[in-house]
Amino acid sequence: MTFQTIKDIDVKNKTVLLRADLNVPTQDGQVTDTTRIDRLKPTIDYLLSQNSKIIVLSHFGRPKGQEKPEFSLSFLPPFLEKKWSVKVGFGQESSEQVTLLENLRFNPGEEKNNTAFAEELAKHGDIYVNDAFSCAHRAHASTEAITHLLPTVAGLLMASELNALNDALESPQKPVMAIVGGSKISTKLSVLNNMVTKVDYLTLGGAMANTFLAAQGHDMGSSLYEPDMLDEAQDILKSAKANNCNIVLPIDCIAVEKLEENAPHSTEFALQFPSDKSAIDIGEQSIAHINSILKTCKTVLWNGPMGVFEIKPFDNGTNQIAKQVAALTKSGNILSVAGGGDTVAALDNAGCIKDFSYISTAGGAFLEWIEGKELPGVKALEKAASKSKAA
Ligand code: ADP
Ligand code: MG
């Protein structure tokens, strides 16, 4: 993967259009999680050190091409000022060094990847910087069309995300383990199909492991599984074999009659599962087995929890694996990358967020990337890099 960043070109005294993802969670006009704002700070600091003028572009919510006041970004500058330690103006009339423009999605051209809207945006700056990996799976005016109009480079956040993802899947140190869990195979078919061609171990957990066990002919009792996905599961098992990918399935499972907090539970062998119970987490033997393989790995990529982590104590399997990955990362033995809405919540619950090499908060874009899809926003960066090389 070749792309340029703001450090590879001259941004001194230039006006930079910075595509950010400031689609932050809010409640009553307050930002409830500032992660997305915090992560942009290195880019802002570098551009300020170069005396660049920064025009920040972002979408917020789904106003669907209409100017709906409840989706205005005008409330945000004070929050940005606090985190970025710089005055932030709002709207096209602002003359501050850092200015946030109104919600991109107020213009119907944004989501249509419309050239006229991209031209309107491009007017405001000399250089386009994309620092919104989480929006890179969409070809929108502010992520794609605009890259045809201005010199285009990655921001520092985008660069760190692309480098981490590249080190985990495109050119990883081997052996590589992918851990894929969660509830459904159907939502992760492309992920699984891509993983079996790329990794040495594919560890399956969550309800999706139940579907694989069922596909192998085992009765999983009243566990959640997808009866209409058995053929797909078998195909993935075959493809794994053809690609020398070892599938790691649960040996034992935590079983309950009724799923609720602190429900009475037993440990059952996955291959002799009782007909009246549901498998809701992996058991200690599975955990020990996975952990022993992890010790031999150099790279781990994780999406999807091992069990119903929202209900205690059925977060145990996820927590124990997370702690092992965190410890191996801390001791410098592995590179660990994780992503996915519930996965990030599960790793947070395990207290392990800080100890992973990289946690991707880019939900849809992260999934499409592990599916092996080409992301329009990333492709545009690569194209711009090869164009500038040729020039
Ligand atoms: P992500 O959002 O990280 O991609 P998913 O949405 O695929 O993850 O999966 C998360 C969901 O899977 C959680 O809500 C969790 O409760 C559920 N889950 C995990 N294991 C099981 C299981 N054995 N039975 C039922 N649901 C499960
Ligand atoms: Mg989810």
> Which element (helix H / strand E) includes 26?
strand 26-27
Ligand nearest to the CA of 212: 1
Can you tell me the distance from the alpha carbon of 249 to that of 212, in angstroms, rounded to the nearest whole number? 8
Nearest alpha carbon to residue 218 among 182, 267, 254, 268: 268
pLDDT of residue 390: 79
- Mutual angle of helices 363-370 and 189-198, in 10-degree steps: 50
pLDDT of residue 261: 96
Instruction: Name the residue of 183, 303, 343 to mutate for ligand 1: max ligand atoms within 8 A of Cβ.
Output: 183
Phi (first) and psi of residue 158, to 5 degrees: -55, -45
Residue 61 Cβ inside 6 Å of ligand 1? The answer reads: no
Q: How far is the CA of 184 from the centre of ligand 2 (A)?
A: 10
Residue 303 Cβ inside 6 Å of ligand 1? The answer reads: yes
Residue 180 Cβ inside 6 Å of ligand 1? The answer reads: no
Structural contact between residues 331 and 323, judged by C-beta atoms closer than 8 angstroms: no
Q: Look at ligand 1, atom 5, and give the residue with the nearest C-alpha.
A: 182
The amino acid sitting at 289 is H
Low-confidence ranges of the chain (pLDDT < 50): none
Residue 157 Cβ inside 6 Å of ligand 1? The answer reads: no
The amino acid sitting at 284 is E
Ligand 1: nearest atom to the Cα of 206:
20
Nearest alpha carbon to residue 100 among 159, 216, 21: 21
Report the 10 Å Cβ neighbour count for 356: 24
Residue 280 Cβ inside 6 Å of ligand 1? The answer reads: yes
Ligand nearest to the CA of 209: 1
Structural contact between residues 144 and 375, judged by C-beta atoms closer than 8 angstroms: no
Looking at 40-148, which runs of residues are DSSP E strands? 53-57, 88-90, 98-100, 127-130
Residue 307 Cβ inside 6 Å of ligand 1? The answer reads: yes
| Residues in Cβ contact with 10 at an 8 Å cutoff, skipping those fewer than 6 apart | none
Ligand 1: nearest atom to the Cα of 341:
2
Q: Look at ligand 1, atom 22, and give the residue with the nearest C-alpha.
A: 207
Can you tell me the distance from the alpha carbon of 223 to that of 201, in angstroms, rounded to the nearest whole number? 25
Can you tell me the distance from the alpha carbon of 242 to that of 351, in angstroms, rounded to the nearest whole number? 37
Instruction: Name the residue of 191, 256, 265, 342 to mutate for ligand 1: max ligand atoms within 8 A of Cβ.
Output: 342
In which residue are the tokens 């500032």 written? 34
Q: How far is the CA of 280 from the centre of ligand 1 (A)?
A: 10
Q: Has this prediction a pTM greater than 0.85?
A: yes
Nearest alpha carbon to residue 251 among 236, 270, 234: 270
Cβ burial of 19 (10 Å; 0-12, 13-18, 19+) is buried
Residue 172 Cβ inside 6 Å of ligand 1? The answer reads: no
The amino acid sitting at 19 is R
Report the 10 Å Cβ neighbour count for 372: 15
Structural contact between residues 99 and 73, judged by C-beta atoms closer than 8 angstroms: no
Q: How far is the CA of 307 from the centre of ligand 1 (A)?
A: 6
- Mutual angle of helices 230-242 and 206-215, in 10-degree steps: 90
Q: How far is the CA of 3 from the centre of ligand 2 (A)?
A: 30
pLDDT of residue 391: 72
Residue 342 Cβ inside 6 Å of ligand 1? The answer reads: yes
| Catalytic annotation, residues | 36, 184, 341, 364
pLDDT of residue 258: 95
Structural contact between residues 57 and 19, judged by C-beta atoms closer than 8 angstroms: yes
Residue 38 Cβ inside 6 Å of ligand 1? The answer reads: no
Q: How far is the CA of 167 from the centre of ligand 1 (A)?
A: 26
3-class SS at 281? strand
Ligand nearest to the CA of 187: 1
Nearest alpha carbon to residue 115 among 133, 142, 136, 77: 142
